[in-house]
Structure 1
Amino acid sequence: MVHVNEINECTSNPCGDGNICYNKKNGYNCTCLSGYRGSNCQTPPDFCLGNNCTNGATCESQQTNYTCLCAFGYKGPFCQKEIVNGGWSTYSGWSECSKSCEGGTRSRVRFCDSPAPEPEGQFCIGSDTEVGNCNTDPCPVCKPYYQIQQFKNDFNCTIINENISCTVTCKDGYVFLPEHPPNDIYECGNNTNYMWTDTPPSCAREY
């Protein structure tokens, strides 16, 4: 009688790791452990039963465990932590107005740090800068120099940064009286609240 070596069907581990394989003639039987099911223990248990996912997360059962798929705005292994989005700080003080009158602009800023967003969080919505109007009243003006001009005066004026500076001379054939000499300069503008610093003296005929 010839004896043929019997083949061990369990050698290839058909039942998978952690389960028990029983060899038998022309086949094998599996005893599944840890909740696995199927002829080869190929169907894992539903690990989502009794899961710890929170905050509206969806549980996804996998081969050896489960994963929590977090709802928007949450993170962590069980979606237990709320993601921090950015919040605006209060505005800074206003900047200096761009004009002293007739309508300028000014600005102020805020920062996305109250709180600062986490890497997964959203940055603050909106602009970090606010612009507003300022100093909308009409600008004051100096009287025209000819309204303070005296007899036979000539004015030579320059305007720098809204300030008028004038020197005064007499027309040909006229002079200032020694007891009433002119100032070196006459000014009007923002530096003088738009009032002339003085009225020049009149000129007298030269003899």
Structure 2
Amino acid sequence: MCCKFPLWYKTFFDFEDHFSIFNLTEHSLLLVTLDFSQNMGQLPGVSSGKVIILVICFVKISYGNFCTDDVDECRLQPNACQNGGTCLNTCNGYKCICVNGWSGPDCSENIDDCAAEPCTAGSTCIDRVASFVCSCPPGKTGLLCHVDDACISNPCKMGAQCETNPIDGKFICTCPSGYKGRTCVEDIDECVIGTNPCENGGLCINTEGSFTCTCALGFGGTNCEGNIGDCLNHRCQNGATCIDGVNTYICQCPAEWTGPFCTDDVDECRLQPNACQNGGTCHNVHNGYNCVCVNGWSGPDCSENIDDCAAEPCTAGSTCIDRVASFVCSCPPGKTGLLCHVDDACISNPCKMGAQCETNPINGKFICTCPSGYKGKTCAEIDKCVIGPNPCENGGSPVSALQVTPVHTVRHQ
């Protein structure tokens, strides 16, 4: 139990028969009644027969019905300790454990590390948190400015950086590229140490503190690392693409051109024997070729069949069938002819004896092709020279009247 009874409570406790305490507001307000009706001559300044009422307010520093539980200030005040300090709760309070460099009840005070005057006389101490820095006067160096500055005489050459060893006081030179030695006065021959710094076959030439490269043709740069662009002034023509090489370039020509600079026309007719289809004739021209198509074909390569039915040459009611450079009319019943424009004279079957009937496409009349042994316009007449016994006597050969050739007799006088 951390809390103690206050002094006034002990005093009143001695006179417990003469007072009472009333808790009006828990832990914050007390109403105390003192009855001095008798025997109160012991209390200085108080007469017997009087009643005194005291109202006492107090700050709540503890918890519990009887003020026996300690308040954890570290939990109620998360930032009670500053600058990384650790808060430790104690009986009726707290304390801070500060990190290095800080002090005070709440670790808010920076400890003065320069108080002990650690820097050498003549230097300036600069306080920091848990440390200090000595600002040295000319000629002094080191953590405490206790070492003579060996760099004040500029022993390092060629722009080298000079530092003084804080232990032995000697200078240390950090040499720039191309130099070596204690004071950086020795030239480094970059051409003989390690690999050749000049790339792509370049020639290395040592110089004071450095080197130069004589590059092979086609290369440039400090170390000959870059390929010189040869396409800057190229001679490629006709839309060709220049492709850079090493000290040269090539021209990538479009399909229609050839040659070193794409100035020669490509003979597509020779390179593409089938450039023109369906019997078309290929003619090479500048930057291309032309096809001369045979009748019935068209298009750039003669692959398109000309539609001969496009003009609707067949008579209405018939069907036009397209072919190459021609067409055929498919006629409905009762019509015939190339364009189905003639009435079919064979529809009435004028030819007899199984003769084949055709309609003359010009005049529309029927034509009968008679079988053997028959003749006439409709093949209804019998050809006696073919059917039956030979009508010609004494070995004569029968000749159809249709085959007789007139004989002309020449008389001699």
TM-score, length of structure 1 as denominator length: 0.46
Q: Which has the larger radius of gyration?
A: 2
Higher relative CO (Cα under 8 Å, sequence separation at least 6) belongs to 1
TM-score, length of structure 2 as denominator length: 0.26
